[in-house]
Amino acid sequence: MLVSLKCYVVNYIIGKVIDVRRRFLQLYELNHSSLYLLVMNENKLLRNKLILGVTGSVAAIKIPCLIEKLLEIGFEVRLVVTDNSLNFFSVDTVSVPVYKDIDEWTRWKKRGDPVLHIELRNWADILLVAPLSANTMAKVAYGLADNLLTTLVRAWWFPNEQNIIHKPVYFAPAMNTLMWQHPFTHEQIERLVGRLHWKCIDPVQKTLICGETGIGAMAEVSDIVNCLKQELNKNLF
């Protein structure tokens, strides 16, 4: 009987090894996009919950395209918009949950009720603010919290000795060239990148909506998506 038990255990282990090898080969043969979705659907440790914050810049017209591309590579997206951002695109053009300033107040009535900006912070793995206007950059760099997005940012996880949670923040500035070159802008970016370890997706040079040509346009959607794809790569296995 002992011999039979040993044989059973050996066969069981061999079977598991074969299963693991077969599974590895299946994953290896998949293209990257399919791999992201497969891992996500099988509840692996993929940190793919992303909040996209949108501020008042003409670059917000690219939001529907950006959301589509983020969904394609495996992100689950929720959209947090400022009132000014809605001058440039309609939330009716996107297929993800959208949260506005008014939602912060209509969802909360009394002590103990869920607080929206805290719920969103706890749900998300990654925060992307794109486009980030000069106005909102100044606000978040100095801790202002006067709407849903800036309040969410103010309550976001930050690196310190007690906080072991890592939830990265990416931001893609978009503004006029002189706004981008302004010394205040560089001070604010230093605060966000140097002190909070945020990651800046630099603007690019092109003819801006004002007719001037220079650096300040939001990075291309493909470049933003590639930066975020790296976060998925870090958590595939």
Distances (CA, A) of 56 to 32, 38, 134, 146: 33, 36, 9, 14
Which residues participate in catalysis according to the annotation? 210
Give the CATH number of domain 45-234; options: 3.10.450.40, 1.10.10.60, 3.40.50.1950, 3.40.50.450. Answer: 3.40.50.1950
107 versus 174: the higher-pLDDT residue is 174
Cβ 211 vs Cβ 205: under 8 Å: no
- For residue 189, give the 3-state DSSP assignment: helix
- pLDDT value for 133: 98
Judge whether residue 11 has pLDDT over 90. Answer: no
Please give the single-letter amino acid code of residue 167: K
Enumerate the domain spans of the chain: 45-234
Query: How many degrees, rounded to 5, is the angle at CA 179 between CA 177 and CA 182?
Result: 110
- pLDDT value for 114: 87
69-100 pLDDT tens trace:
999 999 999 999 999 999 999 999 999 999 99
Cβ 82 vs Cβ 144: under 8 Å: no
Rounded-to-integer distance, Cα 34 and Cα 30, Å: 6
Cβ 98 vs Cβ 83: under 8 Å: no
> 113: Cβ–Cβ under 8 A, 6 or more apart, which residues?
107
Rounded-to-integer distance, Cα 56 and Cα 54, Å: 7
127-143 pLDDT tens trace:
999 999 999 999 999 99
Rounded-to-integer distance, Cα 160 and Cα 79, Å: 27
Rounded-to-integer distance, Cα 196 and Cα 137, Å: 13
Query: Average pLDDT for residues 162-173, to the nearest whole number?
Result: 86
